[in-house]
Amino acid sequence: MAPPRQILLPKDRFGLAFGSLKTQTYHDPIARAPGSHAIRTIAWNPLGQLIATGSADRTLRIWNPERPSARYSTELRGHSAGIEKVIFNPVRDAELASCSTDGTVRFWDVRSKNC
């Protein structure tokens, strides 16, 4: 399961491609499961093998979409406030950065779980 590829769509063709779409609010039951906090950010690694989520509870979690029954495969902690953005390194698929409302940016290696 990999993220969709990006396609260039000129603005004059946007209405033709997406004109019939309707807006609705999506409520993810897992994002607010009992005992957890809202997921604020999500990112795929470049190979589409891992998903990273950052939460209001200051936790960065790495998920393996090929193992959906696992709660989460890796939990990374280090921020003192909620995580607002997470992004994988586009060249090194096991490295990512997270930024928090604590004013810090942390760089992580998923393999070693080190910051």
The pLDDT tens digits of the residues spanning 35-93 come to 556 889 999 998 888 899 999 888 898 888 887 666 656 888 889 998 999 999 999 88
Higher pLDDT, 72 or 104: 104
Q: How many domains does the chain have?
A: 1
Higher pLDDT, 111 or 30: 111
Task: Give me the count of residues in the chain.
Answer: 115
Burial of 45 (0-12, 13-18, 19+ CB in 10 A): buried
- The type of residue at 49 is Q
Find the domain containing 77 and state its range.
38-115
In a domain, 22, yes or no: no
> How would residue 115 be classed by pLDDT, with cut points 50, 70 and 90?
confident
Res. 33: pLDDT tops 70: no
In a domain, 80, yes or no: yes
